[in-house]
Amino acid sequence: MRHGIGLDVAIGLALCQPALLYAGVCRRQAGGRGPAPGVALRLGAGWRFNPNWYLSGAWVRQAHRPGGSFATGTSDAGMLAVRGILPLATPTGADSRVDLGFELGLGWSQRVLTRDVAPLQLSSSGALVRPALILDGWILADFSIGLEFATQLNFHWQHCVDAGCQPAPGDWVASDLDRRWVDGFTIALRLSGLVFPRL
């Protein structure tokens, strides 16, 4: 039975995803650039209570570019996540070496987008909801390699343009600037381990 202190590192690809709030787009528009994928990162630590539950804290980043006039885009977040784990059965009945996890992360995120023309920087901050599907294969008793599929949903209420901020989007959200209303989808390779595991 696996339980104890856990460490997680993930690196992969962040892709554009239309936001639930407002009207972001993830396609090329006339006279503009299309969205571009970027790096997705995760660094976390937590406690595995038993074979079926894991609680962790993590820092996550998505660095995809929304397209249009935006030159760069990054989203950083801190979250607390709970994961329900289903150890997949083996034909022989031996302890499973493959875990299927369903995770829900809640936290705080900040998104920063830069442009080559004014306004030069648009940013927002607020709540984060991050559901994920995680598949881990234990190649050693205390070390696994796996895949993570996660959507990062930003529910922001503080919006800034250059040095000015306000609690709701203003008249400056128009035309090509609607590209800012996108979230991200992550596909990542995971490395996980248990420190001082109790098996």
**121-140 and 143-161 as β-strands: parallel, antiparallel, unpaired?**
antiparallel
CATH code, domain with 174: 2.40.160.20
pLDDT digits (tens, 9 = 90+) for 77-112: 999 999 999 988 766 666 678 999 999 999 999 999
Residue range(s) defining the domain that contains residue 93: 3-198
Phi, psi (deg, nearest 5) at residue 120: -80, -30
Domains held by the chain: number? 1
- Residues 168-196: b if buried by 16+ CB within 10 A, e if exposed: ebeeebeebbbbbbbbbbbebebebbbee
Distance, CA of 28 to CA of 92 (rounded, Å): 51
* pLDDT tens across the length of the chain (199 residues): 688 899 999 999 999 888 776 667 777 766 667 788 999 999 999 999 998 999 999 999 999 888 777 888 899 999 999 999 998 876 666 667 899 999 999 999 999 988 888 788 888 899 999 999 999 999 998 899 999 999 999 888 888 888 777 776 665 554 556 666 778 899 999 999 998 766 5
